[in-house]
Chain A
């Protein structure tokens, strides 16, 4: 049984919009998604070798949300992530080597092996933080937006959260405050319908999340999370609203994770969701639908794609080698940064 069917219209009727974009931009979006996909698949392929002793939450199937959203942000804009960090981190410009070093528990990981996969952060690219406590980062991101407003700074903060995070009280508290103070923030909610193995239907009444969020007194949008251009445009509007000082936006973006909640491989066979449901969503894979769309416009073909994939694979392999050859922390590294000077 397909409990949560795809309800979007993919790239139908998008052809006429193509001319408003530079081809390089359109191709870069594709490349960025392909890059995340290839890196994630390689992480997955190697996961059982046990060199990466870190929990992983793969974003395979959810590349368009990270890439579309980050394309509408500058480096100075801040991004906060949940436990599902990989796509956010890479799309925001995070360093692949530093990410893989973190996965391999090396000292030159982006947080020196204190964080692991669930806590990727790199201030230098505006990847401001992530939390393994569901919704934990939502109030913190709201505070970053408050700081921007108080300091009169122009950066916009975006925080990614899952559908289940909206059930946490802290999110309600944060949305209320952001609307009250008209903070420059975007709440980007990836609705993938499941919290680990619990479907939305056992957790929330039948309602639309973006309408629920609108009840807090903020702009709220629904955007197809498989359509990278739609995500980009919706984010652009939200970021511009924030920069104009017109307050927060909530974006609900339905999308599907093709793999298990955590770890490598899919776990649909345990029965919490129908394999047919995943297969139906794989037909609207954000990477493939966008490829077909660009191809039909004559902007890309298999050869170009294969060249890109080859480059990305080489970069990925080099980064893995680098991580595996990187030094481990020493005992002295345990004791630093408990307190700030």
Chain B
């Protein structure tokens, strides 16, 4: 059992309604997406450190090697930059690699290949080649993960043209967005969150794709707009649901993909509420929160009734110990407090 399994097992989420369809765990939903994609297209292959080991990337790659073969689902040497380049080259020549990492932190070793090669090839060669590459990782948190196993790097990558960034928050989206990512002809980063891996949800069987650049309302409301993705959005939704009892009616928008970004849905909601809270699993400074906050100032200023607020991480490395972590990470209580302040309650 991975060292943080106990922690993830202890998390409680709202149970899905089985009358709405088949209920599946988050990791199983991604697993199903990979399996369908491997089945659907012989160009797809899956690699990463330990994809064929017994823990199988949190269960996400479980059984895939047996079902397909060791030629299409294979372990990777500890060579993040090399393998990112190898996957890029394979993608340029007809393959659709899915390159998986336990943590986004390890992708930092491969920035040269990801940022300076994969993202730019199609542009640099004037459209002669495409790079249909999926890079997957699960953001860590807690249990001593600390500064080097908890980083959310979507903010660092948001600024890179040529990349797409996907951050699901539900099993349904995790499957549908993964299938879209694999079908996409560009390098796509899929960042999951370790704490969502055991979340359950209604997941249809078979092939379906969730489109990129289309946010979705998780809660309708009129008092303020909360936007974000992944686990940060999950916490915000929990806060919003609780605050309904206090008479605060928040609208919660799950962006699902950060790049491309669904500006329309934010604008439409803001027109109604006039208040914007942006949440992210990464640092607030210069990242997703900052970008969306700036967009609001630039494009939707006339709708704003008060300052945009951000809930991301403070400008501090992730501490490892659980006491320090409590001060470091925003939780439902802190998100709720910010919402109350914004609504003058």
Contact = CB atoms under 8 A, between A and B. Distances in A.
Given A151-B94, A340-B185, A143 B125 contact: no
A139 B99 CA distance: 14
Interface stretch (A45-53, A109-117, A272-280): A109-117
A133 B71 CA distance: 30
Contacts of B326: none
B162 interface: yes
B86 A174 contact: yes
B95 A150 contact: yes
Interface of A is mostly: helix
Interface residues on A, range: 35 or more
A112 B127 CA distance: 10
Interface string B9-47: 000000000000000000000000000000000000100
Interface string B97-135: 000000000000000110011000111111111111000
Given A114-B126, A139-B83, A337-B127, 5 more contacts: A112-B126, A123-B125, A140-B89, A143-B86, A146-B86
Interface in B72-94: 72, 77, 79, 81-94
A170 B93 contact: no
A202 interface: no
Given A337-B123, A337-B126, A140 B95 contact: no
A143 B81 contact: no
Contact of A115 (B72, B83, B116, B124): B124
A147 interface: yes
A67 B72 CA distance: 36
Q: Which 3 A-B pairs have the closest CB atoms?
A: A143-B89, A139-B85, A173-B82
21 contacts: A114-B123, A115-B125, A121-B128, A123-B125, A123-B129, A136-B116, A136-B117, A137-B85, A139-B86, A139-B88, A143-B87, A143-B93, A147-B95, A150-B95, A170-B81, A170-B82, A173-B79, A176-B79, A338-B161, A339-B162, A340-B186
Given A174-B85, A177-B79, A180-B77, A340 B90 contact: no
Contacts of B127: 336-337, 340
Most chain A CB atoms below 10 A, which of B112, B125, B127, B164: B125
A169 B81 contact: yes
A311 to B, nearest CB: 30
A148 B92 CA distance: 11
Nearest to B109: A169
A129 interface: yes
Contact of A129 (B72, B83, B123, B129): B129
A251 B116 CA distance: 27
A120 B321 CA distance: 51
Interface in A27-54: none
Interface in B141-196: 161-162, 164, 185-186
B90 A133 contact: no
Given A140-B85, A173-B81, A129 B121 contact: yes
A128 interface: yes
A138 interface: yes
Contacts, number: 144
Nearest to A136: B117
Contacts of A150: 45, 71-72, 90, 95
A142 interface: yes
A27 B92 CA distance: 36
A97 to B, nearest CB: 16
A233 B29 CA distance: 53
A142 B86 contact: yes
Given A177-B82, A337-B122, A338-B123, A143 B128 contact: no
B125 A339 contact: no
Contacts of B86: 139-140, 142-143, 146, 174, 177
B161 to A, nearest CB: 5
A241 B84 CA distance: 26
A92 interface: no
A148 B77 contact: no
Contacts of A173: 77, 79, 81-83
Contacts of B45: 150
Nearest to A159: B89
Contact of A144 (B72, B92, B186): B92
Given A112-B126, A150-B95, A339-B162, A144 B82 contact: no
Nearest to A141: B89
Contacts of A114: 123-126
A118 B79 CA distance: 26
Given A170-B113, A340-B185, A140 B124 contact: no
Contacts of A337: 122-123, 126-127
A144 B93 contact: yes
B112 A136 contact: yes
A136 B128 contact: no
A331 interface: no
Contacts of A142: 82, 85-86, 89
Contact of B117 (A128, A133, A336): A133
Contact of B124 (A119, A128, A138, A146): A119
A340 B161 contact: no
A341 to B, nearest CB: 7
B118 to A, nearest CB: 9
Contact of A139 (B84, B91, B124): B84
Contacts of A180: 77
